[in-house]
Amino acid sequence: MSPFRRVVPLAASLALLAGCDNGIHAGDATTGPGATSVTPPAPVTTTAPVAGPGVFGPGCGQLRGRLAAMADLPVVRAAAASAVLGEWVEAVEAAHAADPLDGARALTVFAPVDAAFAAAGPSARRVSVLDYHVLDQRLDAAGLQRAGGARTRDGGGGPLAFDGSGERLAVNGVPVLCGNIPTKNATLFVIGQVLTPGTIPG
């Protein structure tokens, strides 16, 4: 089974997020042929607002109270402030890609949660894989759905494929956990799996 189709076990996600509010859990949904279906825990009821206008997804509760600060930061610094994307930030910094990403004018970034990196292994930290999660244009969910696909910074890895409607969006078959997150120079989408270049479900 390729890393693209590996679903992060719910237990690993819960352990990773221990001590945090319930919200983003990698692998909460069935993501395509051969994927393992899991039953998510009962949702936590809260009356506090969890997201700004346009931000959507079952995992956005995990970012409650952080979105306003993230909106004023460039994308890597914003991800570092999210509390759920530390592994992605570490990988980007190790690849010397943080400054180029933060200095870019307009991006769309698909950042896997920490448990997804643990499941994917060292290959997830390759520059080509990191680049495969970045578009050199800024699009929201509606724009991605209209486009249906887009070329990434990893030109040799093929395009990303988008499907869904409204507040349901999947990239290469992987559901978005929290999307349309505004940062200073990018629109950020939190996902539950690492995307593998050249691997798009049929």
How many domains does the chain contain in total?
1
The yes-or-no verdict on residue 33 having pLDDT over 50 is no
200 falls within a domain: no
69 falls within a domain: yes
The confidence score (pLDDT) of residue 64 equals 84
136 falls within a domain: yes
Within 8 A by CB and 6+ apart from 43, the residues are 22
Tell me the CATH number at 67.
2.30.180.10
78 falls within a domain: yes
22 falls within a domain: no
H-helix or E-strand containing 175? strand 174-182
The confidence score (pLDDT) of residue 156 equals 83
The confidence score (pLDDT) of residue 138 equals 98
Most confident among 88-92, 122-126, 194-198 (mean pLDDT): 88-92
202 falls within a domain: no
The yes-or-no verdict on residue 183 having pLDDT over 50 is yes
For residues 122 and 51, the model is more confident at 122
> Over pLDDT 90: what percentage of the chain?
65
Q: Which domain holds residue 86?
A: 51-191
pTM (two decimals):
0.77
Buried residues in 174-194 as b, exposed as e (16+ CB within 10 A): bbbbbbbbbbebbbbbbbbbb
106 falls within a domain: yes
Q: For 132-157, what is each residue's pLDDT tens digit?
A: 999 999 999 999 999 999 999 998 88
34 falls within a domain: no
